[in-house]
Amino acid sequence: MLRSVITAFAMFSVIPVPALKTGDEDDKYAMCAFPLVGAVIAGLGLAFYVLFANTDMGTELGAGVMTLIPFTITGGIHMDGYMDTSDALNSYGDKTRKLEILKDPHIGAFAAIRGVCHVLFTFVLWNELLMRLGGGTADIRLLYAVLTGYVISRILSALAVFSFKKAKDDGMLSDLRKRGDTRCRYILFAMLFAVSAASVLYAGYYALAAVIPAVMMFVYYRSVAYRGFGGITGDLAGWFLQKCEQFILLMAVVWAVISGIRR
């Protein structure tokens, strides 16, 4: 299991880990360890918010740091998939053409436009949320729900690897599914239940700001993948993570506005 954790961090983050000569045995539970990368992002986000709440730091700087934390940890691997998928979706070609675009290493106009808009909108959302969080109990619970989304999104992404149809038989996602243990799906379901339950126990109904949007985006992910590509790919998995985390953040801001939370 420890080797699977190391493999997961080596594949999906830039965090230095011991060099291993990995093989099939090490990849068996790598997707089960994938959510731990999200836990690191959540932990850093919470630590930074404590610093933000106890200093005179401006919300613009705070929002910039919160926006960059996931990219800093992952090295932008999921953003790469988001941009490639944006190019493919906006080509309006058939499934074969879209899959060809995903393989193309060059960046297209739509990828650049969507990538900039995604980062900018995430910054704006964090800026609005930080403006409204004043360090109270209710505010911390809402922030906790948002940060939990980094874990939940990765659990759902890993579940999709073992539950959704593949668009092609090659690539990293296909290899992870072939090497993954048959028990991975049950482990991930247990993790999803445990994380969601812990979020509800601590954050109460604020946890719904993460759980409901994540499930909605998971269903949407399947629809887009099947309809446009005939199944999921590694790039689509990255697209899902970026969309899911941003949607959770958006719903948290909406929740804060409706609840009248203001710093």
| Lowest-confidence region among 1-5, 42-46, 62-66, 211-215 | 1-5
Give the span between the Cα atoms of 209 and 191, in whole angstroms: 19
Does residue 263 have a pLDDT over 90?
A: no
In the chain, the amino acid numbered 2 is L
| Burial class for 71, CB neighbours closer than 10 Å (0-12, 13-18, 19+) | middle
Identity of the amino acid at 108: G
Model confidence pLDDT, tens digit, residues 113-128 = 999 999 999 999 999 9
Question: Backbone dihedral region of 230: left (phi > 0), alpha (psi from -120 to 50 degrees) or beta?
Answer: left
Distances in Å between the Cα of 74 and the Cα atoms of 33, 71, 85, 101, 231 are 14, 5, 18, 23, 24
pLDDT digits (tens, 9 = 90+) for 100-116: 888 888 888 889 999 99
Is pLDDT of 138 > 90? no
Q: How much is the pLDDT for 23?
A: 56
Identify how many contiguous H helices and E strands the chain contains and give both numbers.
13, 0
Name the most confidently modeled range: 13-17, 88-92, 220-224, 252-256.
220-224
- Inter-axis angle of helices 208-229 and 184-203, nearest 10: 150
What is the per-residue pLDDT across 187-240, written as a single tens digit (0 to 9) for each?
999 999 999 999 888 888 888 888 999 999 999 999 999 998 999 998 999 999
